[in-house]
Amino acid sequence: MAHKFLIKKNKAGEFVAYFTYNGESIFWTEGYASKASAKSAIESIKKNGPGAVTEDDTVELTEGP
C-alpha cells in the first residue's frame, strides 16, 4: 500500500503522526507527549477526514478591460 500513517519521535522527544505516500510525508500532526495521543490523532483523521470539505482561500486577480 502506498499510503500509510507513521509515528516517529521529533527532536524534542514528542510523538508525531505522519501521513505518507510512496515514502514522502504529505502532512503531519503536532507533537504529542504520548504515543497514545498520536494514535488517537490518526484515528480522528481516519474517522473525520473522508467527509471534510475543501475550501479555497486563494484570491484570483483579474485584469480589467
pLDDT of residue 49: 87
Profile the chain (65 residues) by mean pLDDT over runs of 10 residues. 92 97 94 97 91 86 67
pLDDT of residue 52: 86
In a domain, 53, yes or no: no
CATH code for position 30: 3.30.160.160
pLDDT of residue 59: 78
Whole-number CA gyration radius for the chain: 17
In a domain, 14, yes or no: yes
Query: For residue 29, what are the domain limits?
Result: 3-47
pLDDT of residue 22: 92
In a domain, 42, yes or no: yes
Q: What is the pTM of this model?
A: 0.76
What does each C-alpha distance from 36 to 10, 29, 31, 39, 64 come to in angstroms? 15, 13, 12, 5, 55
Total domains in the chain come to 1
In a domain, 52, yes or no: no
CB-based contact 26:2 (threshold 8 Å): no
